[in-house]
Every structure is written in C-alpha cells, then in structure tokens.
C-alpha cells in the first residue's frame, strides 16, 4: 500500500540527519496521498540507521493506523490535525533542531532579517501561543496541532506563505507541497534562526527587512512570476539570450 509514498517519506526522513536537523530519533516526516485520504509517517523512536521504507506507518485522516506493524510517531495527532486544516500541504516535518528550539524556548518569533529568510518565508515565523494546562493534559499532540492553527488564524498568517511554526517551549514544525519540500523548509528555518541569533545579539537596531525586499525575494522563488532556478514559470524568460 502506497509504496511510492513510503519511499518518498523514508527518503525525506533520512535527509534529517544528513542536514544536521536531528539528534537521536527526535524528528519525523510524513507525506500524504490526498486522493486516498491517507498519510505515511515515520514510526516512533526508531533509529535512523535502522529505518527502512517498509517501517513507515499508514494513517487515515482520523488519525487511525491503517497499515504498519510499528507504532507511528507520537506526534501523529499533530500531523493529522495539520493535514485536515491545511488542505494544500503534502508533507510535514517536526524536529528538535537546536537553533529553532532556542527561539521556541525563548518564546520569540523568527523575524525576517535577511533575504535568506525572505526567499522561503513571507514574513516572521511565529512562535505559537503556549498550550494551556488543560490542552497539555488531554490530547496533547492533537492540541499542539490546534494551537498551531489558532496561532496562524489569530495572527492572520497564511500557512502557505509561512510554512513553519515554532511550538512554544517545544520546537519547530514545517510543511510544504511534498515531504522533501517540508524538510527543505525546516532546514531554511534552522539557518534563519542561526542568522537571527547572531544578528540580534550584534545590534538592537531595527533590522527587519522592508516589505519591498521581502516581496522581491519571496516572489523571485514563488508564484506566477518566480524566475529562480530551472523550473519556475518565468525562469526561461528571465535569462536574456543573445
């Protein structure tokens, strides 16, 4: 069942140690087949060195395991809530990458301070509201998903334009059109956090990028007029050929 997707999710999971985004087993990637309404996720607490595509667990959009011998990631209810709330996304990743977790621990947004950020995130990456005692004690992982959604709604942030969040005092979730793109976004988030830490400890000046620089860099890589790379709509037209 879903063998291609299992392989894709497996490979996205294996990118996490390669990109220095995980310690031990502290990360998980999932990917969804929207037509079937099923997603595939890493099993809970399995070493990356021992992981195989066959270990991936298939879950439906109620959060029920449909196939798989192993227990799915303990964060499966968060993934379930996000897939239901954000119908455009195809992959989700959670890590404890240390720069992002440092901002989550400090309860600080990651502000757009450079084009490295603006190329991927169209505005600040928010830290979520803290979960209440009640939200933590009952259906913790499901409520983590709900608080993410609430944060994006309250602050009027588009989850496609800002495909990541810091869960307060916990760590990052990122998402994207595919599992691989979710992992890409998680790495950009980590690099943006690293840059912001150093910039914010160098100066107290107002160094947020202006809106027009944010627009320029974000739309170089996204949307109908994107021209970065080989595959975007305007890429071929952008290069002037003699």
Q: Does 178 bind a second copy (CB under 8 A)?
A: no
What is the closest distance, in whole angstroms, from the C-beta atom of residue 161 to a second copy in the complex? 19
Active site residue 228: yes
Binds a second copy (CB under 8 A): choice among 101, 180, 186, 189: 101
Q: Is the Cβ of residue 156 or residue 205 nearer to a second copy in the bound state?
A: 205
Whether 77 contacts 139, CB under 8 Å: yes
Query: Rounded to the nearest 5°, which phi and psi values hold at 176?
Result: -175, 180
- Interactions with a second copy, residue window 15-54 (CB under 8 A): 23-26, 43-46
DSSP assignment of 106-149: TT--B---SHHHHTT-SS-BPBPPPPPHHHHHSSHHHHHHHHHH
Whether 190 contacts 97, CB under 8 Å: yes
- Interactions with a second copy, residue window 111-170 (CB under 8 A): 113-116, 130-131, 133, 136-137, 140, 169-170
* End-to-end C-alpha distance for the chain, whole angstroms: 51
Which one of the listed residues 10, 119, 122, 184 is annotated catalytic? 119
Q: Does 61 bind a second copy (CB under 8 A)?
A: no
d(C-alpha 221, C-alpha 121), whole Å: 10
Q: Is the Cβ of residue 156 or residue 239 nearer to a second copy in the bound state?
A: 239
- CA dist 58 to 10, 36, 38, 76, Å? 12, 11, 7, 11
- CA dist 121 to 39, 105, 239, Å? 25, 21, 25
Active site residue 119: yes
What is the closest distance, in whole angstroms, from the C-beta atom of residue 194 to a second copy in the complex? 5
Binds a second copy (CB under 8 A): choice among 99, 121, 152, 173: 99
What track of x and - describes contact with a second copy for positions 198 through 237 (by CB under 8 A)? xxxxxx-x-x-xx-xx--x---x------xxxxx---xx-
């Amino acid at each position: 069942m879903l063998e291609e997707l299992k392989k894709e999710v497996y490979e996205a999971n294996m990118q996490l140690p390669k990109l220095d985004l995980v310690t031990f087993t502290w990360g998980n990637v999932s990917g969804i087949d929207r037509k079937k309404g099923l997603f595939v996720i890493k099993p809970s607490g399995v070493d990356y060195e021992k992981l195989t595509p066959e270990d991936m667990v298939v879950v439906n959009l109620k959060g029920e395991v449909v196939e798989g011998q192993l227990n799915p990631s303990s964060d499966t209810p968060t993934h379930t809530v996000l897939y239901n709330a954000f119908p455009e996304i195809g992959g989700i990743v959670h890590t404890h990458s240390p720069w992002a977790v440092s901002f989550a621990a400090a309860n600080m947004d990651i502000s757009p301070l450079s084009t490295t950020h603006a190329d991927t995130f169209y505005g600040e990456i928010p830290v979520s509201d803290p979960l209440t005692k009640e939200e933590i004690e009952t259906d913790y992982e499901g409520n983590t998903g709900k608080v993410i959604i609430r944060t994006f709604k309250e602050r009027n942030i588009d989850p496609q334009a800002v495909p990541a969040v810091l869960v307060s005092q916990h760590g990052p979730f990122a998402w994207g059109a595919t599992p691989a793109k979710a992992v890409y976004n998680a790495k950009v988030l980590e690099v943006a956090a690293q840059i912001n830490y150093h910039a914010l400890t160098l100066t107290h000046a107002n160094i947020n990028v202006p809106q027009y620089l944010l627009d320029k860099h974000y739309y170089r890589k996204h949307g109908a007029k994107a021209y970065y790379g080989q595959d975007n709509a305007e890429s071929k037209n952008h290069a002037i050929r003699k």
